[in-house]
Structure 1
Amino acid sequence: MTAPPSSSSSPSRPHRRRPAGHLVGAYGLPALTVVLFLTFSLVLPRTFPTRDTVDSLLYTQSVPAVLALAATVPIVTGAFDLSLGYGLGLAHVMVLRLVVDGRWPWPWACLAVIAGGALVGVLNGVVVEYGRIDSFIATLGTGSMMYAVTGWVTGGGRIVPGPQGLPAAFTDLYDSRFLGLPVPACYVLVLAVALWLVLQRLPLGRYLYVVGSNPRAAELVGIPVRRYTVYAFAASGLIVGFAGVLLAAQQQIGNPSVGLDYLLPAFVGALLGSTAIQPGRPNALGTLVAVAVLAVGLTGIGQLGADFWTIPLFYGGTLLLAVGLAGYSARRLRTGADMSAVPLEPPPAGRDGDPTDAAP
């Protein structure tokens, strides 16, 4: 009777050592965040490494972080949603319009706006995929239309609550704390983890990545590209609706033009995030890290007394850098320079051509 073969003699997959370039690309941005925080703490020991500064970062960067996560989802499919800023502005004024003038209960107003955001996302996806219009042009057009609706709803002015103010439970969506942390930071963390699970662990996320990598190949293996692109835009619109609710609870005044200020930071965070954690692939955790490094950098620059024009200069330069690094990482991924990258293999198509109908 022969003994079973030992584990050393059994066939196994060859171990691939991750190249140093991959480690630098994946974890360079988190390391930069730590370095920036330590540097500003040494330069500004009395103002920067304080509880007030950390709380300010967690509170003020919550809306940009949520919007950056919203921008990440269409980018996964190779599309861009330039209507994010316009949608944010419309969502936050609609919440206040329904609560202040419509006398809606605030939970119903929030749910209606979030659902409306999802519908706007579906409209964007339909225009892009079924109208065969480039996503830049299509979402810029729909965004301009949303901006017009915002002006019509507000009459070009601000929505100001009456003397009684807004319901305390509604403003607590932004002002309260949970387990010692600002509640907006908890929203961002939960949303980032949820997106990470969907994109990295569920078949839906794999299909979205395949669509973004090679739409033609996705069609050949039976993935309905149009449908999944619409899904991506719908998810983005839903998240934008939530960001509008959060912005309304923060501002407590409806400003028809405030949403445009968040458009550039959202795309900087999403594109810069595609160079971290999983270089060359847009991912939720990378976006979160990118928002963190931008927040730390801007806060430190502000406390150093920099002029107001340094903020758009910082965002513009970072955007160019992010696009360049994202393109470089994507080229490495396509050419196989990064041996740690594993090609996506979608499952076989089912009877109607949809891989979700395939037999297990």
Structure 2
Amino acid sequence: MNDVLHEPAAQPEAPRTAAGKPVLRFLNDWGIVLAILALILFFAMTAPNFLQGTNLVNILRSISIVTIIAIGLTVSLTVNGFDLSVGSTATFASSLVVSFFVWYSLPLGVSIGLALVIALAVALVNILLIVKFKIPDLFATLATMFIFEGVAMTYTGGGSISAGMPRLDGTPTVGLIPESFLKISQAPWIILIMLVVVAVTHVFLNHTRHGRFLYIIGGNPEAAHLTGIRVNRYRAVAYLIAGLLAAVGGILLASQVGSSQINAGSGYLMPAVAAAFIGSSFAGQGKPNALGTLVGACLVGILENGLVMLSVPYYSLNIIKGAVLAIALASTYYRFKKN
């Protein structure tokens, strides 16, 4: 009898719980934007130069390469894949394009075109391992990450390549890196390239039949196969796009640095992963998407830029960035469930 009498007392909690759902849903859908606005407000108050136009352009320029690589990773995520080799692909492409300039004195268009085509070897190996041999994406791309990281280092002799440096056998080089190549990593060109990549990918994924097929495969590959979608072919296309955009990122990195550096692209893997995963909840989409990836990259870029302006020691940057990204991811993947 006492249990029956006390049972209605718990009912008033229901309205509060129901009222909390829209708030949690709003935070889940727009948490990234709120985090960006909070960071902008904080850094604007603590770093007087943060909102200056030149600094905002610097932020956009700094996230351009990360965003382009992350967009490729996003496409692989649409088919429920995961490409860990994008950093190695960027390093490989960077080494190739600079070597074509310095070692072989090839013209601009030929050097970039060859670097893109040869760097796609990483994607082709990924496709062979994943589609043909049925190795899980994570393990296959982990293997190719190490393989082509080693290929790039072997190709360059474990060192950097820059104008005036002799080849591995000591042969002098006379090739120069074209000024026009160095300019593509400067504002506004690199920002425009980033925006074009984001826009084209957004249209492809959301407004074409092929993009919708990628999402269908990522949701249920068996059902996609039964409806007549060529699952393996589209998975291969996703990894080709991921490899191509990673190679583009590597070429822009070479333009930005003006040389080829050891493992230059490896530092872009984790920011790209963070941008792609954080952006999956943007505007309540709940799936990998190009616009969300751009917003996720903005979050990472604003955070890093603001911390540098506040003179936070470099050895502490990863702690703060990791904590903020963990909070952002928690808001992304937390789902309010009815008990």
Fold shared, TM-score > 0.5 on shorter chain: yes
> Of residues 173, 186, 210 in structure 1, which corresponds to 2:184?
173
Aligned counterpart, 1:266: 272
Shift in alpha-carbon separation, 1:310–1:76, aligned structure 2, 3 A: farther
User: Within 5 Å, which residues of 2 pair with 1:34-49?
Assistant: 34-45=37-48, 47-49=49-51
Distance 1:161 1:210 in 2: 48
Residue of 225, 228, 242 corresponding to 1:236: 242
How far, CA to CA, are the matches of 1:264 and 1:165 in structure 2?
32
Partner SS state of residue 265, structure 2: helix
Higher mean alpha-carbon deviation, 99-108 vs 48-57, is at 48-57
Among 210, 213, 219, the alignment partner of 1:207 is 213
- Report the Cα distance in structure 2 between the residues aligned to 1:220 and 1:210, rounded to whole angstroms: 11
1:5-47 per-position Cα deviation (integer Å, ceiling 9, x unaligned): xxxxxxxxxxxxx9555444333322321232122112222x2
Mapped contact 2:29–2:332 kept (Cα < 8 A): no
Cα distance, 1:156 vs structure 2: 0.7
Q: How big is the shift at 1:326? A: 4.8
The alpha carbon displacement at 1:294 in A equals 1.2
Structure 1 residues 1-360: aligned runs within 5 Å: 21-45=24-48, 47-162=49-164, 165-175=176-186, 177=187, 182-318=188-324, 320-321=326-327, 324-328=330-334
- Taking a change above 3 Å as real, the CA distance of residues 220 and 84 of structure 1, as seen in their structure-2 partners, is same
**What is aligned with 2:10?**
none
CA distances 1:253-281 after superposition (whole Å, capped 9, x unpaired): 11122211111101001100112124420
What TM-score do the two structures reach when normalised by structure 1? 0.80
Matched residue type, 1:287: T
Change (3 A) 1:318 1:275: farther
> Do the aligned residues in 2 keep the contact of 1:278 with 1:286 (CA within 8 Å)?
no
Offset at 1:148? 1.2
**300-309 or 313-322, which moves further after superposition?**
313-322
Distance 1:321 1:71 in 2: 22
Measured in 1, the distance between the counterparts of 2:284 and 2:124 equals 28
SS at match of 2:197: helix
In structure 2, what is the Cα distance between the partners aligned to 1:186 and 1:83?
25
1:277-306 deviation per Cα after TM superposition (whole angstroms, max 9, x unaligned): 244201000000011111111111121121
Amino acid at match of 2:85: S
Q: Is the 8 A contact 2:80 2:219 kept in 1?
A: yes
Higher relative contact order (CA 8 A, sep 6+): 2
- Deviation of 1:242 (Å): 0.8
Q: 1:152, 1:203 → 2: CA distance?
A: 41
Q: Is the 8 A contact 2:280 2:286 kept in 1?
A: yes
Deviates more, 1:47-56 or 1:313-322: 313-322
Post-superposition offset of 1:315 = 4.2
Q: 1:314 to 1:64 in 2, by over 3 A?
A: farther
* CA distance in structure 1 between the partners assigned to 2:276 and 2:264 by the alignment: 20
Can you list the C-alpha shifts for 1:186-233, whole angstroms capped at 9, x where unaligned?
A: 111111111100110001111111111111221222222111111100
3-state SS of the aligned residue for 1:61?
Answer: helix
Identity within the alignment, %: 28
Letter of the structure 1 residue corresponding to residue 291 of structure 2: L
C-alpha separation in 2, matches of 1:128 and 1:316: 30
Distance 2:162 2:196 in 1: 31
Structure 1 position 313, deviation (Å): 2.2
Q: Which residue of 1 aligns with 2:14?
A: none
Determine the C-alpha separation between the residues in 2 that align with 1:312 and 1:84.
21
CA distance in 1, matches of 2:243, 2:227: 28
TM-superposed CA distance for 1:164, in Å, is: 7.6
List structure 1 segments (4+ residues) > 2 angstroms apart after TM superposition.
18-28, 115-120, 162-165, 309-329
- Residue 280 of structure 1 aligns to a residue whose secondary structure is coil
Q: Are 1:268 and 1:318, in contact at CA under 8 Å, matched by a contact in 2?
A: no
> What is the root-mean-square deviation in Å for CA atoms of aligned residues?
2.2
Q: Deviations over 1:297-344 (max 9, x none)?
A: 111112112121233224433554455455446xx8xx9x9xxxxxxx
Normalised to the residue count of structure 2, the TM-score between the two structures is 0.85
